[in-house]
Amino acid sequence: MFFVPGKTGVKSKNRVNSIAFACPSCDDGLTSLDELQIHLQIHVQTSNELINNANNDIQYVAGDNNDEATTIVDASPIPPAPVEGLIPRQCSQESFASDDHHPLRKYNYTFEDVVEWEYEHPWQINHPFDVMEHLKQFHLSSLDLNSKGNIQDMRILSLYSIFAFSEDIQKSVTRYMGQKVHEAVMADLDSIMQKMTMPPTNNVIMWSNELMLCRPVWLQVAQMCTDFLAKGRDSTNADDFIAATCMLQLATRLTKSYPDELCEDSFVHRHLDGLLDTIFAAEPRLKQEWANRWMATSTTLEKSFKPDFVVYVKPWHHRFDLATCEIKAPNNRAAGPINDYVKLCMEMKQMLFKMENAVDQPFVLGILVEGHSLTTYYMDKLGVNGCRVVRLSSTTLISELSNFGSFPMLFRAILQVRDLALIMAQKIEHAQLILAKEKRAFEIADTEATPSWKKFKGSPTLQS
């Protein structure tokens, strides 16, 4: 490939697999990035100005060693050199695509318009320990650390009055309360984590093991899954037929080879849409949307989101989002201070507060996919204006037939979200029908202002 400033359609004459650079000042050809760095220093003009000039119209011409055809591809601009006009060796063609390629380059962010969290009733566990009071202290300390910038996800969530709980103490706010308190709190939350969890049936376990041993030949896999469908149709457990349908959708796609680095849409098609669509579509009350459609709260709140997948119910005039999903393919990363986990929790809070005046004791669900890891969450209210998000389960996606033995746990995790969403859908439907009979309008609860973030000029030290 050759970098040719100001020219297009230039055919490559040199057929070696190397990169050549043309000096934007004198048109001299350089065979390596090191030579370009040395060459730029001999000009009177500063190297930073030269690089910026070259960035205006630089393109590269890519040609195959055996094919005379030449493809013109726009090149990304060369980033300005930070030290003595030299381009750092580690700055690859991808290095300026996102901050993740620059581990030493940090930005500071702070959050504004933070509303202080309030609560009315204590949350006491086995021994006289008020969890709410310690959460309040954690919230206030996060406010203080926020002034210094770059706080961690758990503290960002606390600024939104969202408190995370997980059996993994490192991912739970109870890490700041000690192991004994953590165990007592998780025992108290066990009833939530065990809601609507049913062990996989013997059929699902047996079918998964058979697919795990099957050769990755499409016809053979399709025939095996068709047999599972026939058995699932005759089963007394309706979930067996749903599982067999998911297996047919997923296993047949795993017989094809794909590039190691899939874009997000291809990743979803290969690993997720057959599971999510099939499991939620089996229940007629639940409706779903894909690909960055606005949430129902987007028309009523200032801060709006576009989840990757959302499950909702609309029994009358109002739509209520019950479960949301954020997906990040293995090679993708979130930009800015808000990653997909924080974004998911913020979406869930908006969904939850819309239900506040609709039903008693509302809750919402979330699914987070990061690479090949899938985690499910449950959120309900905590205090006056806060939320409690509890991790329900964590499992892995299936990337090839040889690890299809993990399908029962994956199927169970998504099925739990569906069954919990169905409970809330039924409660909302009942409440909306009562309002319809009485010809009364549903009033959406007023939500408190939520924080917003901005770049902060200060030390980039990460706060814990």
With contact defined as beta carbons under 8 Å apart, do 387 and 348 qualify? yes
In the sheet that holds 363-370, the strands lie side by side as 162-165, 386-396, 373-382, 363-370, 320-328, 309-313, 287-290
User: pLDDT tens per residue, the chain (464 residues)?
Assistant: 333 333 333 333 333 333 345 555 555 655 555 665 666 566 544 444 444 444 444 333 333 333 333 333 333 333 333 333 333 333 333 333 334 444 444 557 788 788 888 888 888 776 678 899 999 999 999 999 888 877 889 999 999 999 999 999 999 999 999 999 999 999 999 988 888 888 889 999 999 999 999 999 999 999 999 999 999 999 999 999 999 999 999 999 999 877 767 788 888 888 898 999 999 999 999 998 987 665 555 454 545 678 999 999 988 778 899 999 999 888 776 666 788 999 999 999 999 998 888 888 999 999 999 989 999 999 999 988 889 999 999 999 998 899 999 999 999 999 999 999 999 999 999 888 887 777 655 555 555 556 766 665 555 454 55
Q: Which of 263, 316, 328 is nearest to 430 (CA)?
A: 316
Region of 291 please: left (phi>0), alpha (psi -120 to 50) or beta: left
With contact defined as beta carbons under 8 Å apart, do 352 and 407 qualify? no
Q: Looking at 344-402, which runs of residues are DSSP E strands? A: 363-370, 373-382, 386-396
- List Cβ neighbours of 288 (8 Å cut-off, separation of 6 or more): 276, 277, 280, 281, 309, 310, 311, 312
Q: Which residue do the tokens 């030949």 mark?
A: 217
Q: Coil, helix or strand for 457?
A: coil
Q: Which of 265, 337, 345, 264 is nearest to 305 (CA)?
A: 345
With contact defined as beta carbons under 8 Å apart, do 99 and 337 qualify? no
- The CB-based long-range contact list for 10-18 (8 Å cut-off, 24+ gap) reads 10/61, 10/70, 11/61, 11/63, 11/68, 11/70, 12/61, 12/63, 12/70, 15/63, 15/65, 17/65
